[in-house]
Amino acid sequence: MSTPPFPKLPAGFRFGAATSAYQIEGAHDEDGRGPSVWDTFSHTPGRTHAGATGDVAADHYHRHREDVALLRELGVDSYRFSIAWSRLLPEGVGPVNPKGLDFYDRLIDDLLAAGVAPAVTLYHWDLPQALEDRGGWRVRETAEAFAAYAALAAERYGDRVERWITLNEPYCSAFVGYAEGRHAPGAREGRGALAAAHHLLVGHGLAVGALRASGAREIGITLNLDRIHAASDRPEDRAALRRAETLHNEIWTEPLFAGRHPRDETETWAGLADGPWRRPGDLELIGAPLDFVGLNFYRPLTVAAAPHQAADPEQRTAVDIGVTELDPYGTRHTTMGWPVVPSAFTELLRDLHARYPQLPPIWITENGSAEADTVSPDGRVHDPDRIAYLADHLAAVADAVAAGVDVRGYYAWSLLDNFEWARGYDQRFGLVHVDYATLTRTPKDSYHWYRGLITAHRAGTEEPAR
């Protein structure tokens, strides 16, 4: 397979790499860190592939300087990482853990010394277990605790952090965690999941206020919106598309960018849609102006109509909306089983830009592919399919930019192979291979390709010396 050409992106476009705390840090019970819902979930038999946990993961907590050196050599402008809430506040509220604060001080200072701008995600799914024990995201108190945690982080790190992301993929937190049960905390609920979705947005709004009050620079949220197609033009499939849009996209985008709840929420959730968790003024709080929106994208969806799994809406989970997913794409799939359709990325970006005229600038905060990576006898990790994936999706971003969409930068997912949540360690997304037995890091061919892209981009877009 020949190496694809570098996509052409405008001057000022920035490149980064991303990770999250529970997926790479390890040190799950060291230096005062409290347990999170993912510690509990992964230690519950049958919840994760092969019983995998994040107890060690990629051991970033002890090896972060090695990983910062990899970032420096990669040449990225920015590194997106998350703070483990329970490392700063072991109970989610209350006494602060000084050793947790110190770890992120060291990481941030080392990044700055390497010329890499820190971009912090405050919440990447690892809710302190103590807060889940008191209701988790089902209750408003968790949103209020999140704002206090955001204020603590901003007070400590705000002078050095370039970009703040309140939540990562609230869809997964609310629906994969509280409705599907595939992620922590492993619940299968209707009202509970919809309450969680709302309180995640309330927490976001409260955190934005706390970050603004601290003088934080750039503030946004990361969403995993989907480009969704109907399986046919039949009325029932078109109706299924509307319900899927409501569940996957509009429950987030409408309150954030249009100041309203989704127009099809009653059709989607019947009597579950409008619950007592909503309060006057919440939409204004949620819709506070942002400096950017982060977008994570991996694959499109095609949906068709299907019967609800339970006729009584009170017995349904929040994801039982009468929709089934199909795969008509006929393309290569990653090892996650996801079809590779870069054109859907352009479609999603253009549609979002057209639908919300007041949309802030977009950052691609995750994009990448899981592949069957191994270290070859030559000591290299040859991953041509990942290189092709990155090149084609960056070209799709370039197409959207050419069409007028304001995209400012791109973070590859992920810097390192890591704990892939319920999939454990059998899925590898990293630009850097991690041998989980020895924790040896080996940059893959995609790492070298991405470094070449960044170098070529700077050389081709910098203003000539005068």
Instruction: Look up residue 461 and give its two tokens.
Output: 């877009």
Using H for helix, E for strand and C for coil, what is the string for 233-264?
A: CCHHHHHHHHHHHHHHHHHHHHHHHCCCCCCC
Structure confidence by residue, pLDDT tens digits, 333-387 = 999 999 999 999 999 999 999 999 999 999 999 999 999 999 999 999 999 999 9
The predicted pLDDT at position 462 comes to 57
The predicted pLDDT at position 461 comes to 75
C-alpha torsion angle, residues 20, 23, 25, 28 (rounded to 10): 120
Structure confidence by residue, pLDDT tens digits, 235-244 = 999 999 999 9
User: What value does the mean pLDDT of the chain take?
Assistant: 96
230: left (phi over 0), alpha (psi -120 to 50) or beta: beta
The predicted pLDDT at position 311 comes to 61
Give the model's confidence band at 273: pLDDT under 50 very low, under 70 low, under 90 confident, else very high. Answer: confident
Structure confidence by residue, pLDDT tens digits, 443-455 = 999 999 999 999 9
Amino acid at 174: A
The predicted pLDDT at position 238 comes to 98
Catalytic residue numbers read 169, 366
Structure confidence by residue, pLDDT tens digits, 152-205 = 999 999 999 999 999 999 999 999 999 999 999 999 999 999 999 999 999 999
Give yes or no for residue 262 having a pLDDT over 70: yes
Place of tokens 């703040």: 164
Give yes or no for residue 115 having a pLDDT over 80: yes
